[in-house]
Chains A and B, each alone.
Chain A
Amino acid sequence: MKSAVVIFPGSSGENDVFHILNNVLDERVDLVWHKTTNLDDYDLVILPGGSSYGDYIRPGAIARYSPIMKAVEAFAKEGKYILGIGNGWQMLLEMNLLPGAVLKNANLKFICSDTFLKLENNKTLFTNGFKVDEIIRMPIASGFGNYFCDEPTLQELLTNQQIVLRYCTDDGRLTPEANYNGATANIAGIINKEGNILGMMPHPERCSEDILGGTDGLRIFTSIINKLKGVNI
């Protein structure tokens, strides 16, 4: 298995993701410039967090037309796996690879904070190492983390179990207070209907080592690796 972590002008999360895959998990991974047009060597593409193109127009709106995105679209169509983190999720929304959009946080502030999350779907490649309804902890860092979708889209997400992560209290209640950025239905992460593309606002790469105060993020990466390598857990 081999992963590509894409660097866009203004990305900032790529080295953390690379570090976790390369140094912590000893997996094959390349940092790939956004002008690359071929992703044939890879099984997993990660679009990292940051502020690509300064978040101008809208977060992800310019990056979605980077040269590499044609290859990312083809990669998605082939059913290969894509993980978008923070700004990476915003790009996937702009590309319509996932439904909905992001808005400014409801309190207008950039929120950098640990969040509690309810793991709502563990039947995905990205979350098979978790228990369903497990409460986990990961940090968010975004000004545009406020996920929005209209009512019919929300119903579809619910019906197809596409909501993977929701902001909650430490005991798992989906309250408005726990909904840090004002997201529709406390949504912190969704997967596409086909199950090969996950977008999430929290940063798993920032909580993948004990020294950073938590390792729930590492389980996202080990879920992917174990499944792609056919390891039973």
Chain B
Amino acid sequence: MFIGNIYITLKEGVLDPAGKAANNKLRDLGFTNINNIKMGKFIEVELEAESKEEAIRQLEAISEQLLANLVIENYRVEVVEGDK
């Protein structure tokens, strides 16, 4: 079994109102060194696969088909543990 991580973030140039709101509030709270916050999604996946490469291919496939919308989002996958 493998455990995969998928990170989904908004593409450059796509408005991120949640990130902006968090950023503004943190500055209000005194964290004036915070310049930018980008909000995204983190998804942990447990999956069966023949190899690490196959696991990565699967994670990419599920990202493209369902978990990310490539019109507005980028995704990055990694396999963190579970090598047989």
Contact = CB atoms under 8 A, between A and B. Distances in A.
B42 to A, nearest CB: 13
Contact of B71 (A62, A101, A107): A101
A94 interface: yes
Contact of A103 (B21, B66, B67, B72): B72
Contacts of A106: 15, 17
A149 B13 CA distance: 11
Interface in A41-67: 57-58, 61-62, 65
A150 B67 CA distance: 20
Interface residue range, chain A: 20 to 34
Which secondary structure dominates where chain A touches chain B?
Answer: loop
A38 interface: no
Contacts of B37: none
B8 to A, nearest CB: 10
Contacts of A99: 71
B15 A101 contact: no
Nearest to B11: A150
Interface string A65-94: 100000000000000000000000000011
B71 A103 contact: no
A101 to B, nearest CB: 4
A58 B14 contact: no
Interface of B: 13-15, 17-18, 21, 66-67, 69, 71-72
5 contacts: A101-B71, A108-B18, A146-B15, A148-B14, A148-B72
